[in-house]
């Protein structure tokens, strides 16, 4: 049990800063450095966690898709293969597949009219435009680390609190090359990164630190919540009265147990994701949230499988 808890602390530390040294993580969580290095390396090697770099180059859509009988997995796999997809879940409830995509404005017509209808197995679908991102996994707090341990890692991380989105991102060819390499391995050494990008170690270090400090790129762990003791993922659709949207927005922004929350256009007002130990605790979780008082109606979906997470295909 103690060993598992230590692993969970290492995972949350990597979620805060995917490039944090084992020494820094050990100091923050109060563990032996050799133990942290051994366990952390094993967690990466066995695929429990993958360290990824990513950005969100365009405001996008949340997709709700229904498939033909027995075709939901095929649909989710096809959606997950698209470069524009950020995450894809197979779910219970009113949707067979729910996913999020980031599509540049000049490509949205083709995406909506050609790409989505061509997804194998998809019989019905709805695309909800994202009006604003309230929370992303960057600021999610799964609750393994103490606030002191968490703050120590945040303070030493060269990372802007929030990821820039859409038109705020402007990467030149060298920055784009760095991102491409780190999408495959976010802990790639500076020496190897410089070799692949074709520049000096000092230059690549300076550029990477700048990209992170400006919020144009994030590097953190992509982790299935079950590895943090959270066995059930929930996707929740909320409808809120127009007069309560601003208050509900602020309440959602301030809730760090929410992993993902966006304001959308359509019959729903918000879509959000959160995690609990198991499904029996959903009502307990919701009962302690201030934003539930603004809900006019809602719909819950339980995630039964994940095809893609944090722009990374799941095993």
In this prediction, residue 2 has a pLDDT band, given cuts at 50, 70 and 90, of: low
Record the tokens describing residue 285, joined without a space: 């979780």
pLDDT digits (tens, 9 = 90+) for 99-145: 999 998 889 999 999 999 999 999 999 999 999 999 988 889 998 99
Question: Is the distance from CB of 36 to CB of 26 less than 8 angstroms?
Answer: yes
| CATH number of the domain that residue 121 is part of | 3.30.70.3460
pLDDT digits (tens, 9 = 90+) for 145-159: 999 999 999 988 988
Q: What is the 3-state secondary structure (H, E, C) of 43-87?
A: HHHCCCEEEEEECECCCEEEEEEEECCCCHHHHHHHHHCCCCEEE
Q: Are residues 211 and 154 in the same domain?
A: yes
pLDDT digits (tens, 9 = 90+) for 176-194: 999 999 998 999 999 999 9
Q: Is 267 helix (H, G, I), strand (E, B) or coil?
A: coil
Query: Helical H runs in 185-297?
Result: 190-197, 201-213, 245-253, 282-287
Q: Are residues 219 and 229 in the same domain?
A: no
Rounded-to-integer distance, Cα 293 and Cα 270, Å: 14
Q: Are residues 101 and 181 in the same domain?
A: no
Q: In b/e form, how buried is each residue of 84-98, taking b as 16+ CB within 10 angstroms?
A: bbbbbbbbeeebbbb
Q: Is residue 246 exposed (0-12), middle (13-18) or buried (19+ Cβ within 10 Å)?
A: exposed
Q: Are residues 8 and 42 in the same domain?
A: yes
% pLDDT > 70, the chain: 98
pLDDT digits (tens, 9 = 90+) for 39-53: 999 999 999 999 999
Q: Are residues 209 and 229 in the same domain?
A: no
How many domains in the chain?
2
Please determine, for residue 313, whether its predicted confidence score (pLDDT) is greater than 80.
no
Domain final position from 190, 223, 256: 223
Domain final position from 174, 197, 223: 223
Average pLDDT of the chain to the nearest whole number? 92
Q: Are residues 148 and 175 in the same domain?
A: yes
Domain final position from 223, 256, 286: 223
Q: Are residues 165 and 291 in the same domain?
A: no
E strands, 68-163, where?
Answer: 85-91, 97-102, 122-135
Position 170 scores a pLDDT of 80
Instruction: State phi, psi for 250 to the nearest 5 degrees.
Output: -65, -35
Q: Are residues 173 and 74 in the same domain?
A: no
Q: Are residues 216 and 260 in the same domain?
A: no
In this prediction, residue 1 has a pLDDT band, given cuts at 50, 70 and 90, of: low
Q: Are residues 147 and 126 in the same domain?
A: no
Residue 7's domain comprises 2-55+142-223
Q: Are residues 68 and 213 in the same domain?
A: no
Record the tokens describing residue 146, joined without a space: 């103490």
């Amino acid at each position: 049990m103690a060993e598992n808890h230590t692993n969970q602390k290492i995972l949350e530390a990597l979620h805060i800063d995917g490039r944090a040294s084992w020494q820094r993580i050990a100091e923050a969580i109060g563990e032996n450095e050799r133990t942290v290095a051994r366990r952390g390396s094993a967690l990466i090697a066995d695929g429990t966690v993958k360290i990824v770099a990513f950005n969100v180059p365009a405001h996008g859509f949340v997709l709700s898709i229904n498939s033909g009988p027995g075709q939901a997995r095929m649909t989710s796999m096809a959606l997950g293969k698209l470069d524009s997809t950020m995450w894809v879940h197979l779910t219970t409830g009113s949707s067979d597949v729910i996913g999020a995509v980031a599509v540049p404005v000049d490509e949205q017509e083709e995406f909506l009219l050609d790409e989505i209808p061509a997804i194998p197995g998809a019989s019905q679908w709805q695309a909800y435009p994202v009006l604003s991102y309230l929370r992303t996994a960057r600021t999610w707090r799964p609750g393994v680390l103490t606030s002191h341990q968490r703050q120590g890692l945040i303070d030493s991380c060269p990372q802007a609190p929030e990821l820039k989105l859409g038109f705020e991102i402007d990467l030149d060819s060298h920055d784009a090359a760095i991102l491409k390499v780190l999408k495959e391995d976010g802990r790639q050494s500076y020496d190897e990164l410089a070799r692949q990008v074709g520049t000096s170690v000092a230059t690549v270090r300076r550029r990477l630190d700048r990209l992170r400090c400006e919020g144009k790129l994030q590097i953190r762990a992509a982790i299935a919540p079950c590895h943090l003791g959270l066995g059930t993922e929930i996707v929740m659709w909320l409808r809120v009265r127009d007069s309560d949207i601003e208050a509900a927005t602020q309440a959602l922004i301030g809730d760090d147990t929410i992993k993902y929350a966006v304001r959308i256009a359509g019959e729903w007002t918000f879509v959000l994701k959160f995690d609990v130990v198991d499904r029996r605790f959903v009502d307990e979780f919701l009962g302690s949230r201030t934003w539930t008082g603004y809900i006019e109606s809602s719909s819950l979906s339980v995630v039964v499988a994940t095809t893609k997470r944090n722009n990374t295909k799941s095993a």
